[in-house]
Structure 1
Amino acid sequence: MSLPRFLNREIIISLLVASFPVLCLAYGKGYNLAPILLLLTSFFFIPQYKKISLTPDVKLVITIFCLYFSFYALSVFSHHDKISYLDQPSRIVLVLPIFLMLLRYPPNIKWLLSAILVGSLIAGLSAIYQVYGLHLDRAYSGFRTLYLNGYMPIQSGNMAMTLGVMSLAVSTYWLKEKHYWATILSLLSAILGILGSFLSGSRGGWVFLPLALIYLVYSNRSYLKTKGQIALIAFLLVVGAITIQTPQVKERIDDAFNNVTHYEQGHDITSLGIRFELWKSAIYTFKKHPIFGAGYHERQQLRERWGKEGLVNKTISHYTLHSHNQYLEDLSLRGIVGLTSLILLLTIPFGIFNRNNRITSNKSNAINQCGAVSIILMSGYLLSQAMFRHNSGTMFFATLTVILLACSITLKREEKS
């Protein structure tokens, strides 16, 4: 007996996939619900996985995701660290059933692209409400209320930036399709999403924004032509100039310069000063354990030792914080082996998106450009934040990446057939 149309599995899966970008910043812990529902749904389709064509790209994605977790687990066991440290990296492999399900039952691409726009709109409007309605100093500050609990200015601000820049990629899709009202809506979504990041004051989220924008312009150079590229760049410059004058943004930029000045004068206890000291500690730890790292327990002992020896600030040496840089975090905890697995986790998906972007299909271009800019931006976020030491960062990266990878690989297969 066939199911009613509203219970059609493709529709259910498409709705769940589309709900992810929509819910991410709709409330404090919105990034959790869709991945959990997608994972539970994927268990019902395990018998169907044998029908999936395991192309080289599919095998590569599964391998690198498993490799990252395996190296992490090996490090935890070999250094006799707590098993609980495996909680966050386990999300990296738990999204693989979702990946396989989406390869077997691809979601509706237009629904996903539209959901990215809605998610970016929500991110921006939520940030505006929190700053100007609730009078918070920074958007996504996370008051202990049902709505705000779970927001983090850094993590949430970075999510908003990703949704905003992906909306720019979606705008090129609608422009190519000659749907000009949809193009305008996409640009509005992009502005609001990026504004949400600026209102969060998360400076680390702004570092690779120029690179992501350059990638989009370059990827669409044959369509935009010279006038189109100039118009897009001019539009972005105007929006950027207006945004930088926002009090919250200007204040955060001024704070950064003041922090650097104070640090040079020997004042370490500032937002950037603490980061610099944690980075120094991570580098010293890596030099002592370059191949496999020190693990969590010894890393903390060494951090305190560096404080006693005057290599880092003594007060900061007692902090049990992560290194506020995912690359240095992995380097100090798991050495070159850990850093290599992290870099592969970023570069392999980017390579697939970038290669598949050559397919002459507007949908394929939009999906692959969304995937590519999300990886570029995440690479920047990791410079000043250990995103994968937080549930929000890991869930956002892992879920978004496998959704876009599954769509990219499916569109490539369809193009060939």
Structure 2
Amino acid sequence: MIDAVSAWLFSNSKRILPYFLLAYVFSLEASMAGMELFGWIGFILTIIVLIFNFRNEPVSTYLKGWTIPEYLILGFFLIVILGAMLNSPEPTDRWFTVGRTRGILLLFGLKFLILLTFNKNTEKYLYVLFAVGVLASMNAIFQYFTGVDLIRANDDLLERIAGTPVVYRTNGFFNSSMTFGHSLGALIALPFAFALMNPKKQRYTRVLFSVATLIMGLALITTFTRGAWMGAVSALLVISFLRDWKTLMATLGTMVVVIFAVTKMHPSLEVRVHSTFDTHSQSASERMSLWKANTDVFKEYPLLGIGYGENERVISEYFKKSKISSGYVGHAHSNFFQFLSGTGLLGTLCFYLFAMGILIVNLRLWFKVRGTSNWISAFLLGAIGVQVCLHVAGLTECNFKDMEINHLFIFVFAMVLALNHKIKRENLNQLLN
């Protein structure tokens, strides 16, 4: 029976798997439940197909060509397991601690899912992602002016912003402005890159990508999320720099105009922009207290950390030890300090070496194909921006820990690794036909 099911799945994989990948991509800016449901169903089906395939092809067919970053992220996963088993203070759910990094397993499943379904229509998944991103952004702009959440009956999720006129902090299709802001701040890099890399003769599609970027940018402003703003600005500047110096100058000029206009849109936006680098604000003080407390956690658990995410459970104790009277009790508000206290020196090194490695893989692929005008070169350029946003925005927010945002990063990483695998084995013309 199992053999019959596996044989049927394998023979029909080209027809079945793309639908789950499409549904997963659709969910990336729309639904956490959809990301988990379609992502893991696709993962299970992919594993079944690969196991059946192993009977006909050697395992080396799939393991050959693995990159150093892939081994590093597996090393990070192993360190999370060890930290949970050895260091997490009781009472604790060690499986739950390990489960916080389930996206790593999904990364490999998505890579193989993309490889199994790769064809000339693969680029359309990205266009679906852009379309959903635009819809979420339009919904956010509507929320900004009306305070009405069309998806959820409870409009109390939208924070009313002080000042005149009355406006609201938006959350798109998610339930958090912070989550939506950081997700959109990373996503905007992709349509921006597609607009830059689109052939000049295809003006219609270039205009569409530009409009998508503009709508997402306006929605990003309405989230009032400064870390996401900084991440998106950094991403767009790096993309422009890689394209050419003229594009960089044009992007810089546009940003200056936009920032000036934003400060005039609403008094609270002006305050928000001006407070971005204010180290004496309440937000900055809370973060510095968190970073100090998480550093103290690291000092007690230097190699493997206290357990990924377990720092959030004990951070109030370290506030008392450090004589910090009050503060935000939760994650470290920084990827670096979250990894440092949760996974120790070994886990932090593994993650950032992985991040550096996959960025190098991405850059090498981009320089290899940058002279061409197609979706692969555009995606690779945009993926560089997504990674820049991850790290810049992650300086003051745990954007990699937030699973709604994490799924977007994992998908982009998987696409980069899948393209690396394909480009090493086929020429670019074969991939596009």
Pairwise TM-score range, normalised by the shorter structure: 0.7 to 0.9
Pairwise mapping of residues 199-278 of structure 1 onto structure 2 (< 5 A)?
199-221=222-244, 226=246, 228-247=247-266, 249-254=269-274, 260-262=279-281, 270-278=282-290
Q: CA RMSD in A?
A: 3.2
- Give, in whole Å, the separation in 2 of the partners of 1:16 and 1:297: 30
Q: Distance in 2 between matches of 1:98 and 1:277?
A: 38
**1:373 matched to 2:385:** yes
- Trace 1:180-191 onto structure 2 (pairs within 5 A): 180-191=203-214
Check the 8 A contact 1:113/1:170 in 2, yes or no: no
Give the stretch that moved more between structures: 109-118 or 234-243: 234-243
Separation (CA, whole Å) in 2 of partners of 1:271 and 1:34:
36
Residues 116 and 167, structure 1, Cα contact 8 Å, conserved in 2: no
Cα separation, partners in 2 of 1:162 and 1:14, compared to 1, 3 Å: farther
Matches within 5 A, 1:133-212: 133-135=146-148, 136-137=158-159, 138-141=168-171, 150-174=174-198, 176=199, 178-212=201-235
SS of 1:358's equivalent? Answer: helix
Alpha-carbon distance in 2 for matches of 1:348, 1:155: 26
Q: Within the alignment, does 1:395 sit opposite 2:407 as a pair? A: yes
Matching residue's letter, 2:292? K
Q: Which of 4, 27, 30 is matched with 1:26 structurally? A: 30
Residues 20, 35 of structure 1: 8 Å contact kept: yes
- Give the aligned residue type for 1:89: T
Percent identity reads 17
Cα distance in 2 between the residues matched to 1:29 and 1:256:
33
Aligned to 1:115: 128
| Offset of residue 184 of structure 1 | 1.0
- In the TM superposition, residue 33 of structure 1 has moved relative to its aligned partner by 4.6
Counterparts of 1:54 and 1:296, CA distance in 2:
30
Q: 1:299 to 1:74 in 2, by over 3 A?
A: same
- For residues 158 and 398 of structure 1, the distance between their equivalents in structure 2, rounded to whole angstroms, comes to 14
TM-score, with length taken from structure 1: 0.81
Opposite residue 206 of structure 1, the aligned amino acid is W
Deviation at 1:27, TM superposition (A): 4.9
| Residue 313 of structure 1: aligned partner | 324
1:63 aligns with 2:71: yes
Q: What residue identity is the alignment partner of 1:249?
A: L
CA deviation map 1:97-131 (0-9, x unaligned): 22123223315343134224313312321211222
Partners of 2:310 and 2:19 lie apart in 1 by 46
TM-score, L = length of structure 2: 0.78
Deviation of 1:330 after TM superposition, in Å, equals: 1.2
1:179 is displaced (CA, Å) by 0.9
Relative to structure 1, the CA distance from residue 182 to residue 15 in structure 2 (aligned partners, 3 Å threshold; closer, same or farther) is farther
**Equivalent residue, structure 1, for 2:155:** none
1:345, distance to aligned residue in structure 2 (A) = 3.1
Distance 1:165-1:299 versus aligned 2 partners, 3 A rule: closer
| Deviation (angstroms), 1:26 | 3.2
Deviation for aligned residue 1:37: 4.2
* Counterpart for residue 421 of structure 2: 409
- d(CA) in 1 for partners of 2:350 and 2:253? 39
Instruction: Report the Cα distance in structure 1 between the residues aligned to 2:262 and 2:25, rounded to whole angstroms.
Output: 23
Paired AA for residue 130 in structure 1: Q
Unaligned runs of 5+ in 1: 1-6, 143-147, 263-269
Residues 20 and 41, structure 2, Cα contact 8 Å, conserved in 1: yes
Q: Give 1:327 deviation, angstroms.
A: 0.8
Aligned pair count reads: 389
Does structure 2 retain, via aligned residues, the 8 Å contact 1:128–1:139?
Answer: no
1:128 aligns with 2:151: no
Aligned counterpart in structure 2 of residue 342 of structure 1, from 330, 351, 355: 351
CA contact (8 A) 2:14 2:116 kept: no
The CA distance in 1 between the partners of 2:418 and 2:318, in whole Å, is 45
**C-alpha separation in 2, matches of 1:201 and 1:220:** 29
Structure 1 residues 249 and 102, CA gap change in structure 2 (3 angstroms): same
For 2:324, give the aligned amino acid. Answer: N
Post-superposition shift, 1:22?
A: 3.6
Q: Does residue 1:105 correspond to 2:122, yes or no?
A: no
Distance 1:12 1:232 in 2: 42
In the alignment, the residues of structure 2 paired with residue 396 and residue 113 of structure 1 have an alpha-carbon distance, to the nearest angstrom, of 12
- The answer for unaligned runs of 5 or more in structure 2 is 1-10, 149-157, 160-167
Change (3 A) 1:86 1:372: same
